[in-house]
Amino acid sequence: AQKITQTQPGMFVQEKEAVTLDCTYDTSDPSYGLFWYKQPSSGEMIFLIYQGSYDQQNATEGRYSLNFQKARKSANLVISASQLGDSAMYFCAMSADNYGQNFVFGPGTRLSVLP
């Protein structure tokens, strides 16, 4: 079975500072993908970044980067230079190849960016 854990229910960060949102996962499948989504108060689910289990380098997308530590089974999201618009819920998710497209989410972290 697959499981995603996000241990930070809520986080605060000062505007323009960097913040790390934690994500750990559990799977026995050697091939899997890890994703981060943002859900602002408007409710839509916005895809941010993806990391494949065999990718050699950590993924980056603009101000988002994924700190992937395979041995520790962690996939933390780093947001640099936080903006007020980054205030939202952030979900870590995974899809393991042997589970087809069974795409499971963690409980989420609510990030609040302070002016």
Partner 1 sequence: DAGVIQSPRHEVTEMGQEVTLRCKPISGHDYLFWYRQTMMRGLELLIYFNNNVPIDDSGMPEDRFSAKMPNASFSTLKIQPSEPRDSAVYFCASSLWGRDRASGYTFGSGTRLTVV
In the region spanning residues 28 to 47, those forming contacts with partner 1, defined by CB under 8 A, are: 33, 35, 37, 43-45, 47
Candidates 64, 73, 104, 110; binder of partner 1 (CB under 8 A) is 104
- 100 contributes a contact to partner 1 by CB under 8 A: yes
Q: How far apart are CA 94 and CA 3, in angstroms?
A: 8
- Tokens 């993806």 locate to 50
Compute how many other C-beta atoms are within 10 angstroms of the C-beta atom of residue 51. Answer: 22
Nearest distance from C-beta of residue 102 to partner 1, angstroms: 6
- 50 contributes a contact to partner 1 by CB under 8 A: yes
Q: Which residues contact 87 (CB under 8 A, 6 or more apart)?
A: 40, 111, 112, 113
- 52 contributes a contact to partner 1 by CB under 8 A: yes
Q: How far apart are CA 55 and CA 6, in angstroms?
A: 22
Q: Which stretches of the chain bind partner 1, using CB under 8 A?
A: 33, 35, 37, 43-45, 47, 50, 52, 59, 91, 95, 100-108
